Structure 1
Amino acid sequence: MSATHTDVIVIGGGIVGTATAFFLSRRARSVMLLERGLTGQQASGVNFGGIRRQGRALHQLPIANRALVTWRNAAHWLQHDVEFLPAGHTRVCYHEQDVETFEHYAREARVFGLDLEVLRGREVFARFPLLGRKVLAASISPLDGHANPRVAAPAFARAAARLGAQIRENVAVTLVERDGGGFRVEDANGRVYRCERLVICAGAWANRLSAQFGEPVPLDAHGPQMAVTEPVPYVFGSSMGVYTHVKAESVYFRQIPRGNIILGGGPPGPADIDTCRAAVTPLNMVRQMAQFRRLVPALAPLHVIRTWSGVEGYLPDGEPIIGASAAVDGLYYGFGFCGAGFQLGPGVGETLAELVDTGTSAIALDAFSIDRFTKRAATAFKTAGAS
């Protein structure tokens, strides 16, 4: 069977993979994207849809800022409305030590171009009168917002295709290997693809591919616990979440203009990369709703009309893997976003495209290198062998 050859193959059709294909196509690279299902079907299509910069590790903010530029221009660049609503993002807290965290983070984030407004006590309720009175403070990021994850990755894929990229869905990649000066990729049906550069953006399935290059990582799969209510009058412009060290308290919501309120948070549920399935657990949902009533008592009478989940990839340090392979020239990664990659996706895609095309990137990626795991694994292996 003859092989298809292109400059760059991107494996994975989530927000990161499709954005990478889009920005590579803008750089006039020939690109093929291979997706095991449909674009945006898993983590990128089932998440909360938050376009949130605040609360991120400070070293993620340059990518988040770059991503925000794309979100602002998405309707024009992609020729499709991804329902980006720059209505702001608000974090609230219940514990006094977290108030101090808000103020400290606001000072540090300002250096990275993120301006936040921190409110305390009565100032919070003057701005957000529907909040429960257990809330002590709020941190507001006025330029953030939310978008529709169901349409975003497919819109990037279609835009990439208009620029010449080949988007191939329902292609399950099973084998990746170095092949001379490039790479050989094989799918479950025995079709072979060849490329000069390879970018793995395969989400929770990425370890199965990175391990074939001697770079395994401890990637786990979990599922977000998501729900949506019946429509009610539109009163919440800003998306809102609880900052806390108590996982059960960590819930978030946003309201879309037609009135439905989208809910998420709390402990994640089970997910399986073999079946490509994830579940909302009844106990998680009951506990989640109790936290929403605490956050906004007026939500208590609303009916939940649908719940859903999807397969997300998590790494133990909570940081993604972004950048060049530590072992193989011409190989790049963008995965492991730990349930927080939707906003970053366009920024990661633009940065990976820049890196693939020029060999360097304007944003430092050292903190996201895959070798933070592969070095650890090699050290552990040597230690075990010496004992």
Structure 2
Amino acid sequence: MNSFPISEQSPIAWSEPHPAECDVVVIGGGVIGICTALFLARAGKRVTVLEKGRIAGEQSSRNWGWIRQQGRDPDEIGIVKEANRLWRELATETNVDIGLKTCGVTYLARTDKEMAEYTAWLQHAKTYGLDSRMLSSTETADLIPGMSHSYKGALYTASDMRAEPWVAVPALAGIAARAGATLVENCAVRALDVAAGRVVGVVTEQGRIKAPEVVLAGGAWSALFLRRHGVALPQLSVRATVAATEPLPAVYPGGAADPRIAFRARSDGGYTLAAGGYHELFVGPDAFRSLPKYLTQLRHEPFGTRLHAKAPRGFPDAWGTPRHWAEDAVSPFERMRILDPKPNMRKVRGLARDFGALFPDINPVHIKSAWAGMIDTMPDVVPVVDRIDALPGLTVGTGMSGHGFGIGPGMGKVLAALVMGDAVGHDLTRFRHRRFSDGTPMRIGPSV
């Protein structure tokens, strides 16, 4: 089993040279890129995934491991519901135990306001036929016994799942490879190859690949890559710290969160802990440039983000990170193979303390490991999934805003259909790239 999370010290699993040409190049070996390649390969396309570091080396192995339909923006629910089904199917196509369990997700409500917000979201669950429901205070205590706090109630979706991301995404990569996809790690794409205004391939550190279609699934690096080609994308990345406990007595097999702490059981008997509704933004040029687009989000949740004066050296939005570079020069993607932010250890200590306080019968809580990841987010907290008009041949799937792991198989299927010109099966109007430039007001959806 892979250790968590995947890092630059993890062995390279896919090291063969890339082909000289193919039908589709996918930039980025996270869950979105891998799932896109999987469905393209199943459709008979010659597809190559290029990853600058390691498959799932960034946020795809650093997330909470939740596969949730609950609380999602209504424009995402149809896709994540399909993803839920695809996860179950894909788990049977590998001999690796990815830790997939249907154990439910629970949002714990401390206040009447939170109860009202969760109840209002249920109308969207009903529209899509989800099994989400509200629990009373007594039902919440019965579902998760031993809590020291008495909650007003909870929003609960029994069909939601969990998996171990550092195992699951490499396992999906194996399925994609067996379907015919070519995977190459430690190979950065420096630029798109553009001729007569159209994408005709990519330029990598190992040379060119001819391809009439390219998919950018670069996560936190996508905006930097696009800016080199004159395409603006108001995407920022925020740090989220995660901790893993040593094995503990079982308190709840699924995932649960209140405004202070989120937790979910892991396959090794421990729990993954994170701060509910808290993340950190390292300020850089893009943060200033994109500020007007984020004003609606800031007003909606003014205290959810802590600001740091500057991004660490080499980060996508660091002040010293180049925005332009030559095709034959070392790119920022080679200088930082894996975006590996340091965890906020003050938060880690607080997580252990808060989890132990919530479940006094299992105290003390010992932390086994802690890490952080950079979540690529958008002003309206929904992704960009679209063909780029200014660069025919380019499709972008990025800005998953912390939802990428769970929605990965569903979004990969959508992106593959976009590339091939097939029916997508979902309304992608909300996810279009032009919403940031055509005067559309920023709308924070009723996700919770």
TM-score > 0.5, shorter chain as reference: yes
| Superimposed CA distance per residue, residues 143-188 of structure 1 (whole angstroms, 9 cap, x where no aligned partner) | 1110010012211222111121110110111111323564231123
Picking from 202, 209, 223, the partner of 1:185 is: 202
Q: Within the alignment, does 1:278 sit opposite 2:289 as a pair?
A: no
Judged with a 3 Å threshold, the aligned counterparts in structure 2 of structure 1 residues 234 and 122 are, in CA distance, closer, same or farther, namely closer
Contact 1:43 1:311 in 2 (8 A): yes
Q: Are positions 1:12 and 2:22 aligned together? A: no
Evaluate the alpha carbon distance shift between residue 72 and residue 3 of structure 1 in structure 2; reply closer, same or farther with a 3 A threshold: closer
Paired position in structure 2 for 1:256: 266
**Separation (CA, whole Å) in 1 of partners of 2:212 and 2:95:** 30
Q: Which range moves more in the overlay, 26-35 or 202-211? A: 202-211
1:326 aligned residue:
389
Which SS does the other structure have where 1:309 is aligned?
strand
Residue of structure 2 aligned with 1:38, choices 54, 60, 80 = 54
Q: What is the total number of aligned residue pairs between the two structures?
A: 369
Asked if structure 1 preserves the Cα contact closer than 8 Å seen for 2:356 and 2:364, the reply is no
Give, in whole Å, the separation in 2 of the partners of 1:334 and 1:295. 38
CA distance in 2, matches of 1:297, 1:112: 38
Task: State the secondary structure of the residue aligned to 1:6.
Answer: coil
Q: Name the amino acid aligned to 1:314.
A: T
Deviates more, 1:282-291 or 1:317-326: 282-291
Secondary structure, in 3 states, of the residue corresponding to 1:342? helix
**In the aligned structure 2, how far is the partner of 1:4 from the partner of 1:313?**
31
Tell whether the 8 Å contact from 1:40 to 1:151 is kept in structure 2 after alignment: no
Higher mean C-alpha deviation, range 27-36 or range 301-310? 301-310
Please name the residue that 2:275 is paired with. 265
TM-superposition CA deviations, 1:3-30 (whole Å, max 9, x none): 8111100000000000000011111111
Residues 199 and 391 in structure 2, CA contact (< 8 A), matched pair in contact too: no
Residue 237 of structure 1 aligns to a residue whose secondary structure is coil
Matched residues in 1 for 2:362 and 2:413: separation?
A: 39
Map Cα deviations across residues 319-354 of structure 1 (whole Å, 9 max, x no partner).
111122232322111111122211011110011112
Query: CA–CA distance in 1 between the matches of 2:392 and 2:346?
Result: 47
Distance verdict in 2 for CA 1:294–1:99, change over 3 Å: farther
Q: Taking structure 2 as the reference length, what is the TM-score of the superposition? A: 0.77
Distance 1:373 1:298, change over 3 A: farther
- Could you tell me whether the CA contact under 8 Å between 1:217 and 1:374 is conserved in 2? no
- Does 1:315 pair with 2:362? no
TM superposition score normalised by structure 1: 0.89
CA distance in 2, matches of 1:290, 1:235: 16
Does the 8 A contact of 1:224 with 1:339 survive in 2?
Answer: no
Distance, in Å, in 1 between the alignment partners of 2:208 and 2:55 is 21
1:66 matches 2:82:
yes
Pair 1:137–1:351, CA change in 2 (3 A): same
Q: 1:200 aligns with which of 216, 225, 233?
A: 216
| Paired letter, 2:392 | D
Shift of 1:268: 2.4
CA RMSD in angstroms, aligned pairs only: 2.1
Alignment of 1:1-387 (within 5 A): 4-179=20-195, 182-189=199-206, 191-242=207-258, 244=259, 249=260, 251-266=261-276, 267-269=278-280, 272-273=315-316, 275=336, 276-293=339-356, 295-375=358-438
Query: Does the Cα contact within 8 Å between 2:215 and 2:396 map onto a contact in 1?
Result: yes
How many Å separate the matches in 2 of 1:359 and 1:121?
47
**Residue by residue, what CA displacement relative to the aligned partner does 1:278-308 show, whole Å, maximum 9, x if unpaired?**
1211222233344434543445411112101
Which shows bigger deviation, 212-221 or 16-25?
A: 212-221
Contact 2:192 2:199 in 1 (8 A): no
Runs of at least 5 residues in structure 2 that lack an aligned partner in the other structure:
1-17, 283-310, 317-331, 441-448
Distance 2:228 2:210 in 1: 16
Q: Which amino acid aligns with 2:263?
A: F
| Structure 1 unaligned spans of 5+ | 378-387
In the alignment, the residues of structure 1 paired with residue 429 and residue 217 of structure 2 have an alpha-carbon distance, to the nearest angstrom, of 18
